[in-house]
A = this chain, B = another copy of it.
Amino acid sequence: MGNANEGSIMTQLEAARAGNITEQMRIVARKEHRSPEFIREKVAQGRIAIPANVNHRTLDPEGVGEGLRTKINVNLGVSGDRADFPEEWEKVRIALENGAESIMDLSNCGKTHPFRSALIEKSTAMIGTVPLYDAIGHLDKPLERITADDFLSVIEAHAVDGVDFMTIHAGLNRRALESFRETGRSLNIVSRGGSLVFAWMQATGNENPFFEHYDRLLEILRRYDVTISLGDALRPGCIDDATDASQISELIELGKLTKRAWDGGVQVIVEGPGHMAIDEIEANVKLQKKLCHGAPFYVLGPLVTDIAPGYDHITSAIGGAVAAASGADFLCYVTPAEHLRLPDANDVLEGVIASKIAAHAADIAKRTPFAREADAKMASARRALDWDAMFEVALDPVKPRRYFESAPPKVEGTCTMCGEMCAVRTVNQALANMEECSDL
């Protein structure tokens, strides 16, 4: 699809402020059952971001933010441990087929450029990256020798390629690190990007380069309408570290950086925890929305317990559902492989579905327009014991059919879960008998 902004060099944010409704806003409005003016107004306020790099021609744009469906992101990419391109393409297919609105390419080793270019060319979903990973892998220098200009040049290369949003860990500045040094925490820094920025700052003695050169960085992003996704380098890596001085000190910085990005015409998403007990999640979402002036909130997890490796798609679905129901807008998927290995294609499928469940359950709770429509169809299909209709409306139509067909019931119309004791069948018969009686 073409890009309405192309000649004008206006970002979605600038266009919205100027009162213009872009083609991307119209598409988002139609998908979300909202008026174009509703979308424009919230884009102008920064409450909705439409990550849409002017160079991502194949993009089917999505809005992320207040009043919209909760979106999900799938991480993939090659690393030093594993660079199996066919498998990464299989992950892309699974992500797109199962309705992920976003794919982050976290490749950090070897020839990252051709894969990224091909991915952007083929992906209708928005594409995100963490340029810092690529800088480390691609520049092939010792960390402390990488300069601020090097980092900015990698960011520009990603922007030219058509990346729609980039995670930038600009909030981990000296001020935020004071809290970290003073109060300590159980698991220090678990953000990969955050740990690298921290190590770079320690080794060079310099201020965070993304913070120090934030205005230059914004200028690059603005030229291509790249949305900045402000990374949470100090996100908790265990429930004990959640909502602590380190995390909140950085969040305060992210709020200030949000305003500066908007002033520079750049759209913003803010990233959030992490690991967190259920009863802290709602307060964290409210805190982010307040400190970051209503900017869209993108959460990784939160994982509601630390002790379920192998099942972190479930701990994360619990936390993600609660977060999104409380107002978070965008969920980063977590797979069963989290904390254990790079996910394979099946892990990706399990992660995507768990994340879609969390997003959809939250949309029901926060009354996103038409969110209950699919559930109503499922209820009708169940009442009619219409199995094909059930599978058709299911988030994953394949697995339930396989389960159902693996155990043929003796009583037609039922499944072996209840068999002849099927409550729906029993009640349908009892109600039919009643009607017959009252007809006599």
Contact = CB atoms under 8 A, between A and B. Distances in A.
B306 A187 contact: no
Given A189-B427, A237-B382, A427-B199, A307 B399 contact: no
Interface string A310-349: 1101110110011001000000000011111110000000
A429 B349 CA distance: 35
A119 interface: no
A394 interface: yes
A369 interface: no
A8 interface: no
A391 B309 CA distance: 8
Contacts of A415: 339-341
A314 B357 contact: yes
A133 B421 contact: yes
Q: Is the interface of A mostly helix, strand, loop or mixed?
A: helix
A195 B308 contact: no
Stoichiometry (number of copies):
2
A400 B336 CA distance: 9
Shortest 9 CB-CB contacts between residues of A and residues of B: A238-B379, A310-B399, A195-B423, A341-B407, A309-B400, A304-B361, A81-B416, A279-B365, A195-B426
23 contacts: A81-B409, A81-B416, A186-B376, A237-B382, A239-B379, A240-B375, A241-B379, A278-B325, A305-B361, A306-B375, A308-B395, A309-B391, A310-B403, A311-B395, A311-B396, A311-B399, A315-B361, A322-B322, A336-B399, A336-B403, A337-B403, A341-B404, A342-B407
Interface of A: 79-82, 108, 133, 136, 186-192, 194-196, 198-199, 202-203, 237-241, 277-279, 304-311, 313-315, 317-318, 321-322, 325, 336-342, 353-354, 357-358, 360-362, 364-366, 372, 374-376, 378-380, 382-383, 390-391, 393-396, 399-400, 402-404, 406-407, 409-411, 415-424, 426-431, 433-434
